[in-house]
Structure 1
C-alpha cells in the first residue's frame, strides 16, 4: 500500500518537452527513485534519465551533477513541509499548542521520508544550496513567528525569538535524527517520545526566563522547590 505522505510529494508528470517542464519531470523522477528505494545511491543521472525517457546529457542541461539534482529534490520536498506547518497551525486553539503541533509535524515529516530528510539536513553543506533557504521558509520561519507570538502574549519571557526558535528547532531535529538513525533504541511510541522532549524544552525555556538565563541548575531546582506548593494550589 502506498504511503500517503510520500504520495503527496509526487507531482503529476508533465508532458515531455524542454525548459521548466522537463526540469520538473526530472525532479519528479529523482524523487520517485529516492522514495521508492529509500537510498540516494539508487539515484544516478543515468537512472533518472531512463525513468524520464531522455538521454543523460539532457539532465546536465538542468543540473550540474547528481549533488545539484538531489539538492533541488530536497528543496522541493520542503515546500510540502511548509504546507503541513500551515495546516497544523490552523487547527490549534492556542499559540502554545501551535508551537507543539509545529514541532511534532516537523519530526513526523522527517521520519516519514527519512532519506530525503537525511540528505537535506545531515549531508555536507554546499555553497549555493537551495535546501537551507527551503528549510528556513518551511520550518524555521514558522517556529520563529510562533515564538515571537508567545513572547508578546507573555507565555515566553522577553528575549530573542530567533535564538529561542533555533533552540527548539535543534531539539526537533535531534529527535528526528535519532528516530531515523537509531530506530532500535527504546523510544517506545515515537510520537509520544517526541512530544515529551518538546514539552521539556518548551517548559525549560519558560523556567529559564523566569529564573534568569545565568541561573545554575541548582538555582533552578531551588526556585522550583520554593514555587512548588503555590503552583500546585493554582492547578487545583
Structure 2
C-alpha cells in the first residue's frame, strides 16, 4: 500500500499528493471553504478556457487543501462546475437587469441590456463559454431545476423588456417571446464568433444596436 504523502506543516492529501498548508477557517466560517473552492475552479476555467481542467485534485492544489476536504461541500467535480455556472448565470442576469433598469425609455433599456450581455460574454469568455458547454446535471437532480430556473429568469428579462417596447408603441413585434429568442440567438452568435474568429474583419460594435432594431422590430419614436 502506498503511504500517503505529507504536506508542509504535516498535512496529508490521502491521495499521494502534497499540498500547501491552508489556515483552518475560524469556527462558524466553514462556508468560506466552499467559496474558496468555487473561486479556485473559476480561476482555473478562466486560465484554461475549459471546465475540463477542474478536478478534485487540481482544485485542492489551487487552494492548498486535501482533496477529500472538498466532499464536505461538493459531492464531485461536476457539482463544483455547476456552482461556477450558477454564479456566472446570476452575474450575467444582474448585469443585464441593472443595465435595463438604468433607463426609463424601454428601447434604451433594451439596447443597454443587450450591450451588457455582449460585454459580459466578451469580457468573461471562458465563464461565458462554460455556461453552454458544461455537462448539465440529470433532469431529476436539484441542480438541473436551479440552473434551468436561473437561466429562464435571465432570459425573461429580455422578453419583458421587448414586451415593454411593444406596450409603449416602440416595437411592432407580434411575438415578443419568439423575437426575444431570435435576438438572444444573434447576441450569442456574435459573442461566440468574435471569440472564435478574432481576426475576422468584424463590423463596428454598433452591430448590437442594428440587431436590436431589426430583430426587435423597433420603430422610431
Which TM-score applies when normalising by structure 1? 0.69
Distance of aligned partners of 1:163 and 1:201 in 2 relative to their CA distance in 1, 3 Å threshold: closer
CA drift of 1:140 comes to 0.7
- Say whether 1:175 aligns with 2:190: yes
Distance of aligned partners of 1:86 and 1:72 in 2 relative to their CA distance in 1, 3 Å threshold: same
CA drift of 1:19 comes to 5.3
Q: Distance in 1 between matches of 2:100 and 2:200?
A: 30
5+ unaligned residues in a row in structure 1: which ranges? 1-13, 208-230
Aligned to 2:19: none
Q: Distance in 2 between matches of 1:30 and 1:16?
A: 23
Aligned to 1:66: 77
- Say whether 1:148 aligns with 2:163: yes
Distance of aligned partners of 1:16 and 1:82 in 2 relative to their CA distance in 1, 3 Å threshold: farther
Task: String of CA shifts for 1:93-125, please: whole Å, max 9, x gaps.
Answer: 410111111111111101111111111123454
- Say whether 1:27 aligns with 2:27: no
Distance of aligned partners of 1:132 and 1:176 in 2 relative to their CA distance in 1, 3 Å threshold: farther
Q: Distance in 2 between matches of 1:74 and 1:134?
A: 10
5+ unaligned residues in a row in structure 2: which ranges? 1-23
1:187 corresponds, among 172, 193, 202, to 202
1:110 corresponds, among 121, 136, 142, to 121
1:121 corresponds, among 132, 135, 143, to 132
Residues 147-226 of structure 1 mapped to structure 2, 5 A cutoff: 147-157=162-172, 159-189=174-204, 191-202=205-216, 205=217
In angstroms, what is the RMSD of aligned CA positions? 2.8
Aligned to 1:134: 150
Aligned to 1:50: 61
Distance of aligned partners of 1:132 and 1:181 in 2 relative to their CA distance in 1, 3 Å threshold: farther
Distance of aligned partners of 1:185 and 1:197 in 2 relative to their CA distance in 1, 3 Å threshold: farther
Task: String of CA shifts for 1:140-181, please: whole Å, max 9, x gaps.
Answer: 121111122122212223634322322221221111111122
Which TM-score applies when normalising by structure 2? 0.73
Q: How many residues align?
A: 192
Distance of aligned partners of 1:72 and 1:89 in 2 relative to their CA distance in 1, 3 Å threshold: same
> Which one has a larger percent helix, Structure 1 or Structure 2?
1
Q: Distance in 1 between matches of 2:57 and 2:161?
A: 44
Task: String of CA shifts for 1:169-198, please: whole Å, max 9, x gaps.
Answer: 122111111112222221144x23333333
Q: Distance in 1 between matches of 2:197 and 2:121?
A: 14
